[in-house]
Amino acid sequence: MDRYGRDVLDPRTQRAARPRTVDVPMEIGMVVEDPASGYVGEIMGWENGLVILEDRHGKRRAFPVGPGFWLDGKPVALRIPPRTGSTTRYTASGSRVGDPGRPAKVALPSRIYVEGRHDAELVEKIWGSDLRHVGVVVEYLGGIDDLVSIVAEFRPEKGRRLGVLVDHLVSGTKEQRIAAEVARGGYGDVVRIAGHRFIDIWQAIRPEVLGIKAWPEVPRDVDFKKGTLAALGMPHHDQIDIANAWKAMLGRVRTFRDLDPDFTREVEKLIDFVTQDHLDEID
């Protein structure tokens, strides 16, 4: 009995014959890969037969429109979409796309910290365009055990706010105790710690997006990521297996609708919080 059903994360599916290239109209916010160079980037626009991609480090490259790209693990030919009566475009977070010709914002002194690298990559994929528009930088932490000293070192104040996104921020957890300790640090209204109920950011992706019925339960004494992959019947022996699995999962995520709504709500609250002192600077 197949517990979860076949999908592209299934190793058997990954070994299937290479599919044929299909035409795909380009969309702002679509993430594609140029396999020849290994460059992965978000589509920021297109002009003069070139598509402009931006990677997660904010670096941009131009490629000829047409075949030779991969989208969600499949070969595609990028095509210029037909003109419609409306020129309104939207980012992966659902925000309206502004004028692509505007210069990049200078980074604000306010920051958002997230607990892990996968958290940062997911936030960048969905909210990257919004964050660049307002000039907010997201930085990842290796963990939150030293969060009290990290916040003190940041020296938050009015105009220099700090938002922190924490995994598994529920009552009775280590994360909740650390957050409470930071709250007692006397930072008033310039530090905000937000979180989600999930043990790991992987679970913020709606399971149906990955072709599974639900995220498997992993015993507390088992590494969450390896245990999850084992339950899904995927390779799970080392960090390479984990990295490959996350890459495949992240590739499935296209817009905020692919994420748990409680998670998206917390991220958007943090973005609003760290920009409150800079509203006059953001158009």
pLDDT tens digits for range 38-93: 899 889 888 777 888 888 877 888 888 999 999 988 999 999 887 655 445 556 65
Judge contact between 167 and 199, C-beta under 8 A. yes
pLDDT given at position 1? 47
pLDDT given at position 135? 84
pLDDT given at position 133? 79
Task: Say whether pTM exceeds 0.85.
Answer: no
Q: What residues in the chain have per-residue pLDDT under 70?
A: 1-18, 83-106, 278-283
pLDDT given at position 93? 56
Long-range contacts of 50-55 (CB under 8 A, 24+ apart): 51/26, 51/78, 54/128
The count of other CB atoms within 10 Å of the CB of residue 71 is 17
pLDDT given at position 24? 93
Buried b / exposed e along 2-34 (16+ C-beta atoms within 10 A): eebeeeebbeeeeeeeeeeeeebebebbbbbbb
